[in-house]
A and B are shown apart, each in its own frame.
Chain A
Amino acid sequence: MSHLSNPLATAEQLYKKASVNDLPAELQDSILFFTARLTQAAGVLLRLPQDVTAQANVLLFRYWLVDGLMQHEFSELSAATIYMTAKISASPRSLRSITNVYAYLTSPNSSLSTPNSNPPPDPESYYLSESTYITNRNRLLHIEGQLLNALGFNTHVALPHPLAITYLQALDVFAASRSQKGKSAGTEVGKRAIEYLNTALLSPQMLYLTHQPCALATTAVYLAARDKGVKLPDVEWWEVFDCEREELGFLAVAMGSLEGVVRREMERWGEGKAMITRADIRGEMEKMGTALGSGGAAEVEDEEAEMARLMDEKVAAQ
């Protein structure tokens, strides 16, 4: 069985995602990033264990490799995913709590907005009337069915977090620094590794869909130890954890690039933007001069042409 491994996205699915969604790549990235961040924030407010929140985010991205990005309102899809994931876990949450949390997080008072852009507190802006609650609830339940259908009812998600801790133990990082007084270096590295893994959940590169947990955990350990200046063996220790040097390198760059992704999104949508909606995306498309339903194809062709050119070059070089 598979407490250690995940189903992975196929090349076809990844290719299709680029072509089926008639959206420019950077807007797709925005949708993925903002929705994942919203799920994470909701998980915190719902006091869900992080493994449930993380699983919800993985399932959400998996869904988007089957159905289009614009099929459902992003925040509602996020809410339905977290509801379903919590339901089958040991910590279920009520639809009432979930709709309340999402109403708050998508309101102008949302804690996701930065303080300086926050309007004066206005609880009414996130109050849910009974009838709104029922409409929201029914929509979430509808999306739940669509989500499960798209996933073929496969809700299995293995997470790299416990692996990362095990790897650090295997590398003796905790034991070696325990004797020191004050902050333990090992604990610091462990915390940092978990931070990398949680941040990677927000990556529009969908790292959890393309790499197995062992590779993600190894990379997080590698980056965390580097950040904290803790030395790891000189040999190729990552091979012990079934991660190739090339994969480690790719993931290290991908995880390291998240900071840039966040900065880019903040520049595009403004610091105070708590969550984007489908309406925001349509507005942006109009600004770019491309209406939905056209545009995307040409871009894909270009990509394909470029890929062919790169391959030609590679062949020629050999």
Chain B
Amino acid sequence: MKSRWADDEEDAALEAQRKREKEEKKRLKAEKQRKADEAAAREREAAQAAAAAETQSQDAELSSRPAKRRKLSPEPREPVAEEEPRPAKLLRFPAPEWKKCRSVEDFEKLNDIEEGAYGWVSRAKDSITGKVVALKRLKMDNAQDGIPVTGLREIQTLMDCAHPNIVTLREVVVGEDTSKIENIFLVLDFLEHDLKTLLEDMNEPFLNSEVKTLLLQLTSGVSYLHDNWILHRDLKTSNLLLNNRGVLKIADFGMARYFGDPPPKMTQLVVTLWYRAPELLLGAERYGTAIDMWSVGCIFGELLTKEPLLQGKNEVDELSKIFELCGIPTEESWPGFKRLPNARSLRLPKNPVTQGSVLRAKFPFLTSAGSSLLVSLLELNPARRPTAKEVLEHPFFKEDPKPKSTEMFPTFPSKAGQEKRRRRGTPNAPVRGNVPEIKATDFSGIFAGREDEEKGGGFSLKLI
């Protein structure tokens, strides 16, 4: 059989040529070697003669020394017979080990932090190293299926991640009694704040420079995830942690999973409602990284105003809030959206408002670069949303005010560190199960009655 590396006539000719060249080289080398040898021999002779002369001039009792001395002096360098091929530089992979889980008894519980949709979190101290960590206990809901897949996926994806803006999973520990594995705890970095609680307690929203720092860190973490084929699928302010040094870390990977290209069929029941992208609400089964970018857009808006951007009461209400803010999709702006499962039953107004105009009006203090970024993140058509990499390059981050360095970030008193957290009001990520169907819904009323709205007087030229 033939291959690119097989010998044919041309190869044979080449081979012969190579051989000739090789022989020529060999001959030249031998010649050189011979010359070098001769030279060395001459040198040696000369040295010997000199040494002999020296010996003669010295006392008889020291006659044995020259030989010794000669041995110590550097020999005329031996010509290297064959140049050793340098060992190739091969890539070596770090090879971590696997070993049995430690017991949770190795940790000393300090205080509870919160109860999330997927487990309880408490602050604890490693009694061996003294390090303070967050212990997250996995909920064991469906005992029918063994250890819940959400928990396993969270561990699987987090363990593969190493990025400054993603919370580090140090290890997994289990309850003392290992005859039955029921109590599973994730040992995570402890961070003082989550953005949600912080925003609630702040009197003034973050400064523009601070928003940029936070958004950059969030996007850089998301970019890392997407580069590594992980979808987070539940980005929201309560899942973003912040430490007292201004470092933001993405947490809670209970919804995360690996995806592929082309994306596999995945459940649409992901992402907390207020941060859920329109294609998910419309029932798309194949979706991609753009759903995380939509959530980033929602978080951007929330950082600017302290208020969640799109607080829908249910799927339908969320969709109408989205359309109100971002405009109505058309075949032109979002080709094919009508074919999505839940879009068929929608009745949309005929006179769509241009996308972005309402949004721009809502954030009057944002520069044009800032609002163009926000508008692009909240594009209804997922294909038109920027990727995380593109966001990192956006001019918004290059114009003044520049992102504040994390060292200069203000600090806040930590609730998680000291006191029990009050329950928060955001809805939780959807639970696995049946997908609620969006029934035939009439959206034509969203912009109805717009004529009745209060209109400013403005001014006009009066023709007399």
Which residues of A are in contact with B by a Cβ distance under 8 Å?
A: 1-10, 13, 62, 65-66, 83-84, 87-88, 90, 92, 95, 140-142, 144-146, 148-156, 171-173, 175-177, 180, 185-186, 188, 212, 214, 225, 228-234, 236, 239, 242-244
- Given A84-B146, A239-B90, A243-B90: A228 and B1 interface contact (C-beta under 8 Å): yes
* New A-B contacts (9) at CB < 8 Å, excluding given A88-B153, A172-B4, A230-B2: A5-B93, A9-B97, A66-B99, A92-B149, A145-B146, A149-B181, A152-B101, A156-B160, A242-B92
**CB of B88 within 8 Å of the partner chain:** yes
- B156/A155 in contact, CB under 8 A: yes
Q: What chain A residues lie within 8 Å of B453 (beta carbons)?
A: none
Closest to A59 in B: B98
**CB of B5 within 8 Å of the partner chain:** yes
Choice from B1, B98, B100, B145 contacting A229 with Cβ under 8 Å: B1
- A7/B181 in contact, CB under 8 A: no
- A212/B178 in contact, CB under 8 A: no
Q: What chain B residues lie within 8 Å of A153 (beta carbons)?
A: 101, 152, 155, 159, 172, 184
- B145/A95 in contact, CB under 8 A: yes
**CB of B147 within 8 Å of the partner chain:** yes
- A212/B2 in contact, CB under 8 A: no
Shortest Cβ distance from A145 into chain B, in angstroms?
A: 3
Q: Mark B88-121, 1 if CB is under 8 A from A, else 0.
A: 1011111111111100000000000000000000
**CB of B353 within 8 Å of the partner chain:** no
- B160/A148 in contact, CB under 8 A: no
- B95/A6 in contact, CB under 8 A: yes
**CB of B277 within 8 Å of the partner chain:** no
- A87/B159 in contact, CB under 8 A: no
**CB of B405 within 8 Å of the partner chain:** no
- B153/A176 in contact, CB under 8 A: no
- Given A151-B98, A232-B3: A83 and B90 interface contact (C-beta under 8 Å): no
Shortest Cβ distance from A224 into chain B, in angstroms?
A: 12
- A231/B6 in contact, CB under 8 A: yes
Shortest Cβ distance from B262 into chain A, in angstroms?
A: 12
Which residues of B are in contact with A by a Cβ distance under 8 Å?
A: 1-7, 88, 90-101, 143, 145-147, 149, 152-153, 155-156, 159-162, 171-172, 174, 178, 180-182, 184, 228-229, 258, 260, 264
- B264/A90 in contact, CB under 8 A: yes
Choice from A2, A66, A87, A185 contacting B98 with Cβ under 8 Å: A66
Q: What chain B residues lie within 8 Å of A6 (beta carbons)?
A: 93, 95
Closest to B184 in A: A153
Give bound CA distance, A153 to B101, whole Å: 8
- Given A146-B181, A156-B159, A212-B95: A173 and B146 interface contact (C-beta under 8 Å): no
Shortest Cβ distance from B12 into chain A, in angstroms?
A: 13
Give bound CA distance, A148 to B171, whole Å: 12
Give bound CA distance, A84 to B155, whole Å: 13
Q: What chain B residues lie within 8 Å of A151 (beta carbons)?
A: 98
Choice from B145, B162, B180, B258 contacting A87 with Cβ under 8 Å: B145
Q: What chain A residues lie within 8 Å of B92 (beta carbons)?
A: 242
Q: What chain A residues lie within 8 Å of B172 (beta carbons)?
A: 152-153
Give bound CA distance, A151 to B7, whole Å: 50
Choice from A149, A173, A236 contacting B3 with Cβ under 8 Å: A173
Shortest Cβ distance from A243 into chain B, in angstroms?
A: 7
Greatest chain A CB density within 10 A among B4, B92, B155 is at: B4
A-B CB contact pairs (8 Å), 16 listed: A5-B93, A7-B96, A84-B152, A87-B146, A90-B260, A144-B181, A149-B174, A149-B181, A155-B156, A176-B5, A214-B91, A229-B1, A230-B6, A234-B5, A242-B91, A242-B92
- A149/B101 in contact, CB under 8 A: yes
Choice from B2, B153, B161, B264 contacting A1 with Cβ under 8 Å: B161
Q: What chain A residues lie within 8 Å of B155 (beta carbons)?
A: 153, 155
Give bound CA distance, A5 to B97, whole Å: 12
- B2/A155 in contact, CB under 8 A: no
Choice from A140, A149, A180, A233 contacting B5 with Cβ under 8 Å: A233
Q: What chain A residues lie within 8 Å of B162 (beta carbons)?
A: 1
- B4/A148 in contact, CB under 8 A: no
Shortest Cβ distance from B21 into chain A, in angstroms?
A: 15
Shortest Cβ distance from B142 into chain A, in angstroms?
A: 11
- B97/A212 in contact, CB under 8 A: no
Give bound CA distance, A254 to B88, whole Å: 24
Choice from A4, A141, A149 contacting B100 with Cβ under 8 Å: A149
Give bound CA distance, A185 to B7, whole Å: 16
Greatest chain B CB density within 10 A among A1, A10, A151, A239 is at: A1
Closest to A213 in B: B93
Give bound CA distance, A229 to B3, whole Å: 9
Pick the 7 closest A-B CB pairs, nearest first.
A145-B181, A5-B93, A176-B4, A8-B95, A153-B172, A185-B1, A239-B88
- A145/B180 in contact, CB under 8 A: yes
- A150/B3 in contact, CB under 8 A: no
Choice from B1, B5, B147, B161 contacting A148 with Cβ under 8 Å: B147
Give bound CA distance, A148 to B88, whole Å: 39
- B4/A175 in contact, CB under 8 A: yes
- B98/A154 in contact, CB under 8 A: yes
Give bound CA distance, A232 to B7, whole Å: 10
Q: What chain A residues lie within 8 Å of B229 (beta carbons)?
A: 3
- Given A4-B93, A92-B149, A231-B6: A149 and B178 interface contact (C-beta under 8 Å): yes
- A88/B152 in contact, CB under 8 A: yes
Shortest Cβ distance from A239 into chain B, in angstroms?
A: 4
Shortest Cβ distance from A122 into chain B, in angstroms?
A: 31
Closest to A225 in B: B3
Greatest chain B CB density within 10 A among A6, A90, A225, A244 is at: A90
Closest to B92 in A: A242
Give bound CA distance, A145 to B151, whole Å: 13
Shortest Cβ distance from A221 into chain B, in angstroms?
A: 12
- B171/A152 in contact, CB under 8 A: yes
Give bound CA distance, A228 to B2, whole Å: 10
